Structure formats: C-alpha cells, structure tokens
A and B are shown apart, each in its own frame.
Chain A
Amino acid sequence: MRYGMVIDTKKCVGCSDCVVACQIENNVPIGYCRDWIQETVTGAYPTLALEFRSERCNHCDNAPCVRCCPTGASHKLENGIVMVTKDECIGCGACIQSCPYDARYQHPDGYVDKCTFCSHRVQEGLQTACASVCPTKCIYFGDLEDPKSEVSQLLKTRTYKSLAPEAGTKPQIFYLI
C-alpha cells in the first residue's frame, strides 16, 4: 500500500475549495493552510497558457524531512503517508528547511504541521477532505501500488509530471497535464 494523489490540472479551476475544506476538516489555524493553489502562466501574449495546481505536502517516498528530523517526530507510515508527531516535535525547523516544496509550517502552538492526506479520514475508508469537496473532481486519491486503482489507471493513460523531481525526493503527488 502506497497512498498517492493525482491532480488533473486540465480540470482544476483554482477555486480554493480544497484549501477551505482542509482548513475546516483539520482545524488549521487562521492565516495558515496545509494546501494551496498555484497558478502558472506561460507563454507570451497573446498565446498564453494558464495552469492551476492544488499543491500540498508531496508525501515523498524519499522524504528529506523524515531524514533530517533530529527526534523522529517526522516519520513515514507504512502506507506512505508522512506524518508529524506533535509531542515529539521540538520546533527546530530543520524539516521546513529540508522541504523543496515549502509544504510545512510552524503551528502557532510551536510544533510543525502539514498535510496528512487526511490520515484520520483515510483510516475510515473516506476520501481526503480536499478530494471529497472538489467541484470539478480533479483530485484523485488512492493506492499507487494497486494497478486497478483510479490513480494508477490515470497515470497509465495520461501524461503527468511531478514537482521538482530533480530534488530526488520521489514525490507521490502527480499532476496530469
């Protein structure tokens, strides 16, 4: 089992519903967010292209945040989800420095926080909050090791990219392009 996410940039309209759903579901403090929308405009006028990406922790297979954590607070579950145990986190900020995606932040209570792929929901067989509310259904969540899963099928049939693959982190979020 290796959870991952596939996001269809052709369907995402950048509405930020995923951002708000995550904030509510995970009680994210005001002013902070675990996921966000990135807009990329490429080309020169009048031939411009616009891409929306819903971004979050990439739950990297080779997670630098897990490696550099001095206490083991940042760790990887057997299902591939990267988690932070807040009572083990000392707030040193090393994991934040190590993340090429700037996907972590210091919670106002001091510990480091980030996307958990809604681990508490996934354990109950539910979708992540962001995927469940997406009005264009552009966020797919599932087991990348199951060849029959929707995410695996999409990666078989569509062209995709991941973010900063040159960082060597093996991100587990894939963007259909």
Chain B
Amino acid sequence: MQEELFSSGRNIPNIDPTLEVWHWPISVDLFFGGLAAGLLFFAALFYLMNKEDKYPSIVKIAPIVAPIGITIALICLFYDLTHKLYFWRLYLTFRIESPMSFGSWVLLLITPISFLWVFSYIEDIFPKLKLKNNFLIAIKNFGATYRKAMAIMLIPLSISLGIYTGILLSAFNARPLWNTTILGPLFLSSGLTCAAAVILFFGRKNKEERNLFSKITLATLLIQLFLMAHMILGDFAGTEAQFQAIQLLVGGEFTTAFVGFVIILGLIVPTLLEILELRGVKIPILLPVLLVLIGGIVFRFVMVEAGQLAHYLY
C-alpha cells in the first residue's frame, strides 16, 4: 500500500515543513553545560581525594573554563527563549516532571559555586595577581574556607548537569531520535570526555597530569563509544519511527557530520592517538584535544537538528 500525506492550510514558521524550534544556541548550551559539568566533577573529585597539590591543573587551573562555559550556556539559553521577559517564572516553581525546570534549578545552584570555586584559586590561576580589595579578598577566603563543602555539593550537581543535557532531549517521546534513556549517560560521558581533553591541555606540561588524563580521556572515549554504539543499535532494533530517525545519522543527511566528525574524528581518532601517546609515541597534544572538542560540539548540533526532523508516523 502506498500512502501520501498532504497538509493544507498550514505553513507555520519553524513548525512546517519540519520542526526548527531549537536552534544553534541550544546545541552550544548543551556543549558548554556538559563541558562545565565535567570540569567541575573532576575538580571536586580530585579535591576530595586530597590531590589538590599533586594535580593543580585539574583542581585549580582547568576549572576556570567552567564558569565561562556556564555563562555562555546561560546566555545561549536566554537568547533562545522567545518570551524572554518572563524567564523569572522558571524560579517560581519546581516541576519534577520537567527536565527543563530541573536543569534551570541545577544551573542556579551550580553557577555561583563554580564562580566561587575558581575565585578561591584566583591567585593560583594568575600567579602575578595580588588581590588588594578587601571585599574580593573576603570572597576568596570564604571560598577557600568552604572548598570541601563546595566539592561535596559539586559532585551530585555536576553529574546532574551533565545528565540533564541528555535528559532534556530524551524526555520527549514525540521525537524518536531523542527518546532513548541512553542519551543521559551518553551526554554525561561526552561532557566528561570534553572536560578530560581540556584538562589534558592545561596539564600538558606536568608529566603526571598528562599521563593520568591521557588515561582518563581514553577511558571516557571508550565509554562514549560504547554508549554511542548502544544508541545506534538500539534505534536500528527499535520501532519504525526510531529506525527512520537513526537513518538520518547513519546513511541520511547527517551522515558526514555524525559518522565523519563525531564517530571517526571525534571518538575513534582521539582514542587511537591516546593509545599511541600512552605507548610513548609523541603526539601533539592539541590534536586529540581539538578533535574531542570539535566532535563534542558537532554531536550536540547533529542531535538537536536531526532530532527535530524525526517524528511519529501517522
């Protein structure tokens, strides 16, 4: 049987012929949200393991990217709202069933902590800087006093933020490409990989840090590859709607971006480079770092764009 559908009397902007409600700011938001979550997770974890002085890049230096990333993410989120002046409505309620409500509360909590964390190490990040303003010194000392409390809070908050970037999409069962529970752990692992790559860059001159984060980057890359394979296989074995959705990424119009930039250049090549690095081959550090970060951001763009093209069949 052949079937053809026509829609008449409808050509709504951003809805027809295909959904384009979420644009590039959402992809950028998901990328920086995940990256910041990963950086804060590693910083808090290594601080609680008392490795603050052994691995300064992880705990003190690299986290400077986190508040910057969160700020970019928040600006993007705000920019993408179409009824901007009412954004404060987010904070008059907490709706457990709404991932966006959950995420906005997590962001509200994690943003000041990320700023305070970085500020408490400001003189370690910029050794030539000497704070003179009493107020700023008081803030720095306050942060330094409560570092342990911040680290304890950052562990669950950063994991929540990292998972949220995936759950935001996976909660929509109307979009078959997104509607898979693997997306939460997948986005979290991608955020951790990107964060590990950034730490690798900051710690490139410290042999111990470079070696440790080559191993951690390799581990997160392998986890991400494993979860990515699960997502693809799950959709191929899923309903017709999911089958058609995943074909957008594998064989369809997003194949070059997804297979080329995300899977091959963003995951497989950095994995091989890290293996070579750990075996003693000299690898220019910027190469795997940039590949991982580019793969991470392309992954968010592909998922957001392709997810809106996939839909229920009726």
Say if A and B assemble together. yes
Q: Name A residues whose Cβ lies closer than 8 Å to a Cβ of B.
A: 14, 16, 19, 31-33, 36-44, 64, 67-73, 86-94, 96-100, 102, 104-106, 109-111, 163-164, 166-168
Tell me, yes or no, whether B215 is within 8 Å of chain A by CB. no
At the interface with chain A, which of B53-61, B98-106, B197-205, B267-275?
B98-106
Supposing A71-B89, A90-B84 touch, asked if A14 and B314 sit within 8 A by C-beta, the answer is: no
Q: A68 touches which one: B82, B83, B97 (CB < 8 A)?
A: B97
Is B312's CB under 8 angstroms from A164's CB? yes
Contact residues of B between 47 and 97, Cβ < 8 Å to A: 80-84, 86-87, 89-90, 92-93, 95, 97
Does more than half of chain B's interface fall in helix, strand or loop, or is it mixed?
A: loop
In the complex, residue of chain B having the shortest beta-carbon distance to the beta carbon of A93:
B21
**Number of A-B pairs, beta carbon distance below 8 Å:** 153
Contact residues of B between 1 and 46, Cβ < 8 Å to A: 1-16, 19, 21-22
Supposing A68-B100, A72-B95 touch, asked if A91 and B83 sit within 8 A by C-beta, the answer is: yes
Residues of B within 8 A of A64 (CB): 172-174
Residues of A within 8 A of B95 (CB): 69-72
Supposing A100-B311, A111-B83 touch, asked if A36 and B4 sit within 8 A by C-beta, the answer is: no
Supposing A19-B9, A43-B1 touch, asked if A67 and B98 sit within 8 A by C-beta, the answer is: yes
Is B19's CB under 8 angstroms from A94's CB? no
CA–CA, A128 to B82, complex, Å? Answer: 29
Supposing A41-B4, A71-B92 touch, asked if A93 and B12 sit within 8 A by C-beta, the answer is: no
CA–CA, A7 to B165, complex, Å? Answer: 40
The 3 closest A-B pairs by CB, nearest first: A91-B82, A91-B83, A110-B83
Chain B: minimal CB distance from A136 (Å): 16
Chain A: minimal CB distance from B51 (Å): 37
Residues of B within 8 A of A16 (CB): 8-9
Residues of B within 8 A of A106 (CB): 13-14, 21, 82
Q: Mark B170-210, 1 if CB is under 8 A from A, else 0.
A: 01111100000000000000000000000000000000000
Is A33's CB under 8 angstroms from B12's CB? yes
Q: A40 touches which one: B4, B14, B82 (CB < 8 A)?
A: B4
Supposing A19-B9, A36-B7, A68-B171 touch, asked if A97 and B82 sit within 8 A by C-beta, the answer is: no
CA–CA, A67 to B100, complex, Å? Answer: 11
Tell me, yes or no, whether B217 is within 8 Å of chain A by CB. no
Is A70's CB under 8 angstroms from B81's CB? no
Q: A88 touches which one: B4, B8, B81, B86 (CB < 8 A)?
A: B86
Tell me, yes or no, whether B120 is within 8 Å of chain A by CB. no
CA–CA, A116 to B27, complex, Å? Answer: 32
Is A33's CB under 8 angstroms from B5's CB? no
Q: A105 touches which one: B9, B15, B173 (CB < 8 A)?
A: B15
In the complex, residue of chain B having the shortest beta-carbon distance to the beta carbon of A35:
B9
Is A110's CB under 8 angstroms from B98's CB? no
CA–CA, A43 to B173, complex, Å? Answer: 30
CA–CA, A38 to B5, complex, Å? Answer: 7
Is A97's CB under 8 angstroms from B21's CB? yes
Is A31's CB under 8 angstroms from B8's CB? no
Tell me, yes or no, whether B114 is within 8 Å of chain A by CB. no
Tell me, yes or no, whether B224 is within 8 Å of chain A by CB. no
Supposing A40-B5, A73-B89 touch, asked if A97 and B308 sit within 8 A by C-beta, the answer is: yes
CA–CA, A166 to B313, complex, Å? Answer: 10
CA–CA, A70 to B31, complex, Å? Answer: 21
Is A90's CB under 8 angstroms from B19's CB? no
